Every structure is written in C-alpha cells, then in structure tokens.
Amino acid sequence: MLDQEEKARRRRAEKLAYAINSIEGVPVSDDTKQLADKWVNGEISLEQIRQELIRKYKVETASNYEKYHTDEYKPTPHEYTED
C-alpha cells in the first residue's frame, strides 16, 4: 500500500508526463490514462505499463503495416519532394 506522499509524488509525475505530451502535440489515450491511474494508486508497476503499451501498440502497428503496405496503397508525394 502506498502512503499519501508517494501517491502525491506519482500524481505530479503523471501530470508532468501529460503536460509534456501536450507540448509535443501527442494526445494521451484513455487506455494510457487508466494505466497511469492504476500506477498512481500502486496497483501496477511502471514495467507493467510499459509491457501493456508495447503489447497494445504492437498490435495496432502490425494492423497499420498491413493496411499501408499493399500494392493498392499509393501515398501522395509531399510538396517538397521532386517526385
């Protein structure tokens, strides 16, 4: 069980992480927020969060890879390329 001081420290770390993501323009998913809340309350470790996010985004990445790496997918060239 975490004491209140440790929970407060973790909550500050969580808010800082969200602020950094916001500055970078990267939204935090609801799934990630739920995992972070569990960490703040001492229910899971940072390692468990890491493993869960890797598992989740590996599946999404694989799905996106299949979607965009087909013969039918033709990306639009960017304005700054000479294609």
Q: What is the pTM of this model?
A: 0.68
Contact (CB, 8 A) for 16 and 26: no
Domain encompassing residue 16: 4-68
3-state SS string over the chain? CCCHHHHHHHHHHHHHHHHHHHHHCCCCCHHHHHHHHHHHCCCCCHHHHHHHHHHHHHHHHHHHHHHHCCCCCCCCCCCCCCC
- Does 78 map to a domain? no
- Does 15 map to a domain? yes
- Does 34 map to a domain? yes
What's the confidence (pLDDT) of residue 31? 94
Which residues of the chain carry a pLDDT beneath 70? 60-83
What is the spatial distance between Cα 38 and Cα 33, in angstroms, rounded to a whole number? 9
Task: Give me the number of domains the chain comprises.
Answer: 1
